[in-house]
Structure 1
Amino acid sequence: MNKLHLLRTHLVGAVPTLARDPDRLLTFVEEGSVEFRRGRDLSHEYRYAAQLVLTNFADELDTVMIPLLQWLAEYQPDVDPGEAVSFEAEILNNRSVDLALRVRLTERVIAKVDCEAGTIRVDRALPRFELDACPISQHWQLLTRDTNTDDGYSLAAEWGEASNDGG
């Protein structure tokens, strides 16, 4: 479940509430399965629904959803867009919720058997797919605006590495 660890690290770095208190992000695996084919090698794929629970979440939903969708575009681009993410929320009060996100993930494991040596070599295939839209940018700011006002955009979240080119 290496992808789930990567996703958790990404969200903790991208969502200000989680950066301040990472213990507010709980992670679980539901409905896990292993797909493999018979044969000499033992390569297989883990398929599971990851559940991420943000406790006492009082920010805008987009402060977590945008970084999540960005991560999925890089690490799970083949996921069915209609089934990629689902969510539920338990309203705690007028300002906060317990937010449960459900994300479908797959992880490929290459396991090559060498009968003569008596070894099995395992490699985890965690490919990262470059985003075509902005392949260079590694630093992001999420700017939001209330559609009911004429106010400008305000910074809601910021993540990634700062640019080294001075700009």
Structure 2
Amino acid sequence: MKKPASLRAALARLMPDLARDTDRLAMWVEKGKVVARLGPQRGFAWEYDQIVLVSRYAGDPAALFFVICDWLRSQQPDLLASGADGFPFEVDMLSEAECDIQITLPLREAITATPGQDGKWHLDMVPEPVPMMPESQWLGPRLTSIWADGIQIAPLPPSES
């Protein structure tokens, strides 16, 4: 599974406090299943709920969800398609300044299996399908920071993180 590590890297890049204090970002997989069919193609897909738990979060929750939605644009675009159900989350308010946020992302990764010589098989991750529009419309510019009401909220400037 490559998506969990990719999501962790995206969160750490824009929220360096989570990268520095690694015990505040927990991630695990639940309800995983493998989907495979009998036939000449021996590939399969695994489907699972990626659970993301951010503990003692003191930032703007909009920044956290924005980073996740931006990551989904390239890693699981069907969750952002018109008519998609979205993804669930829960928040536990610890104080006025801090909360725990748990997010559940229903993810899927497809694997192809290609036969080689002498019974060797090569496994490859299938890239996500590209939406039927120009890349500049679905990916947009690279995300480097997030601002709200003229204030930078992610990553926080060094004096505030």
TM-score, normalisation: structure 2: 0.82
CA gap 1:49/1:131 in 2 versus in 1, 3 angstroms = farther
Structure 2 gaps, min length 5: 157-161
TM-score, normalisation: structure 1: 0.79
Structure 1 gaps, min length 5: 146-152, 160-167
Structure 2 distance, partners of 1:17, 1:84, is 27
1:25 aligned partner: 25
- The 5 Å alignment of 1:78-97 reads 78-79=78-79, 82-97=84-99
Give the drift of 1:117: 2.0
Give the drift of 1:128: 7.7
1:142 aligned partner: 146
Q: Size of the alignment, in residue pairs?
A: 151
Tell me how large the CA RMSD over aligned residues is.
2.4
Q: Secondary structure at the match of 1:49?
A: strand
Work out whether residues 42 and 113 of structure 1, in 8 Å CA contact, stay in contact via their aligned partners in 2. no
- The 5 Å alignment of 1:1-167 reads 1-79=1-79, 82-114=84-116, 117-127=118-128, 129=130, 131-133=135-137, 137-145=141-149, 153-158=150-155
Q: Larger % of helix: which? A: 2
2:159 aligned partner: none
Work out whether residues 11 and 18 of structure 1, in 8 Å CA contact, stay in contact via their aligned partners in 2. yes
- The AA in structure 1 aligned to 2:68 is L
CA gap 1:54/1:136 in 2 versus in 1, 3 angstroms = closer
Work out whether residues 49 and 105 of structure 1, in 8 Å CA contact, stay in contact via their aligned partners in 2. yes
Q: Larger % of strand: which? A: 1
Structure 2 distance, partners of 1:128, 1:16, is 30
Percent sequence identity is 24
Work out whether residues 74 and 131 of structure 1, in 8 Å CA contact, stay in contact via their aligned partners in 2. no
Q: Secondary structure at the match of 2:78?
A: coil
